[in-house]
Amino acid sequence: MAERIVVKIGSSSLTSDEGGLNRSKLDFFASELSALKRAGYQVVLVTSGAVAAGFRAIGYTSRPKQVHEKQASAAVGQAMLMQAYQESFGRDGYIAAQILLTRADFSNRRRIESALMTMEELLRQGAIPVINENDTVATEELKFGDNDMLSSLVANLVKAKQLIILTDTDGLYTADPRFNQDARRIERVTQISEDLMQLAGGSGSSVGTGGMRSKLEAARIAMRGGVPAFVGRAAEPGDLALAVSGIGKGTYFDTSLGNLPVKKQWLGFHSMPQGRIIVDDGAELALRNGGKSLLPAGVRESEGDFHPGDVVEVLGLSGDTIGRGVVNYESMQLKAVAGMNSDEVKRRIDVSRIEVIHRDEWITLKA
């Protein structure tokens, strides 16, 4: 199968601060993507810019702040974006296909699997899926807001070889380069620590939303899903190909993890935990490093009202989250048998599976 590359382009790379599309910039990125297609890659584009492209045309003088104004701007600008991509890719002999997604679509396994099937078919047919958040229906509490996170979830979903996040800066610096002239670029990152997160500031333009911070959060999700990421700039013809080949103008985020199955992606990134289980140090070690199931003996306490099949969050004695899993016990049952060995549990209650959480239905969230 052809290797897949997911490319995310931010508003600041496609539009001007005063609003409106910058066609020459968009044409440049489209030809960069076409070049990847010609080189044999399957390409998925996650594009921002709908709000920024549309707000001036609909009558606002600056990027609006109210949600319904942004949604109205996006409704106008999304059509402009797609028309421009159709024309630009069309010149290179490729078809652009619009896909609009919300966070709620990712939480619903059937909907996201359906979106994946559509993307698979589009890629088989040689089209370029062009994805944005469905701004008109996304509610504020459930919005991605910026498309960085959306692009990492898409990269995990399609099991991309690489996620390329293009922006107006050539990578992650030791400080926001707008304010600190001594800031140095960080070439490679293997783990996104809290210290690293502290280096990243907000957006550099009046049209971008996420800033470097949201790009780091996105890179962390991609790495966790087994997809290496790149954050940087493509300004000259061939820059995107250089980024893909490992010598781009930006920061590389490496991962040694394999691709995460869609079921585990859902568990880790989209499910809604119904309760919390606190485990002892031995169980924490077994879950983190041993690839083991959680047994009642390791459970110290549980909180919340959950039922078999619900997702619960698991914490260590320090209060740190270890991961999430699908629980096999009623919350009341688990309280009654916490800390007991498996034979004793079997004598006392009737459960279909002795594991509180089976390792196949578990994901570790932090190293």
Ligand X SMILES: N[C@@H](CCC(=O)OP(=O)(O)O)C(=O)O
User: What residues form the annotated binding site?
Assistant: 8, 48, 135, 147, 167-168, 209-215
Q: Does 77 bind ligand ADP (CB under 6 A)?
A: no
Q: Does 102 bind ligand X (CB under 6 A)?
A: no
**How far, in Å, CA of 352 to CA of 341, rounded?**
16
Q: Does 208 bind ligand X (CB under 6 A)?
A: yes
In this chain, which of 19, 204, 210, 316 binds ligand X, going by CB under 6 A?
A: 210
Quick note: the x/- pattern for ligand ADP over 112-151, rule CB under 6 A, is ----------------------------------x-----
Kindly give, in sequence order, each residue whose CB lies less than 8 Å from that of residue 167, ignoring residues fewer than 6 positions away: 10, 12, 13, 208, 215, 231, 232, 233
Kindly give, in sequence order, each residue whose CB lies less than 8 Å from that of residue 333, ignoring residues fewer than 6 positions away: 349, 351
135 interacts with, out of ligand ADP, ligand X, none, CB within 5 to 8 A per kind: ligand X
Q: Does 239 bind ligand X (CB under 6 A)?
A: no
Q: Does 10 bind ligand ADP (CB under 6 A)?
A: yes
Q: Are 96 and 86 in contact (CB under 8 A)?
A: yes
CB of 60 to ligand X, least distance (A): 13
The number of C-alpha atoms within 13 Å of 295 and in the hemisphere containing its C-beta is 13
In this chain, which of 6, 72, 74, 212 binds ligand X, going by CB under 6 A?
A: 74
Residue 113: CB atoms within 10 A of its CB come to 13
Q: Does 196 bind ligand ADP (CB under 6 A)?
A: no
Q: Are 271 and 311 in contact (CB under 8 A)?
A: yes
Q: Which stretch binds ligand X (CB under 6 A): 97-105, 146-154, 284-292, 314-322?
A: 146-154
Q: Does 178 bind ligand ADP (CB under 6 A)?
A: yes
Q: Which stretch binds ligand X (CB under 6 A): 93-101, 141-149, 243-251, 351-359?
A: 141-149
Residue 348: CB atoms within 10 A of its CB come to 13
CB of 150 to ligand ADP, least distance (A): 11
Q: Does 64 bind ligand ADP (CB under 6 A)?
A: no
Q: Does 204 bind ligand ADP (CB under 6 A)?
A: yes
CB of 83 to ligand ADP, least distance (A): 21
Q: Does 209 bind ligand ADP (CB under 6 A)?
A: yes
Smaller CB separation from ligand X, 13 or 333: 13
Sign of the four-CA dihedral 169, 170, 175, 181? negative
**Burial of residue 367, with CB atoms counted within 10 A of its CB: 0-12 exposed, 13-18 middle, 19 or more buried:** exposed
Residue ranges in contact with ligand X by CB under 6 A: 10-11, 48-52, 74, 132-133, 135, 146-148, 208-210
Residue ranges in contact with ligand ADP by CB under 6 A: 10-13, 146, 167-169, 172-173, 175-178, 199-201, 203-205, 208-212
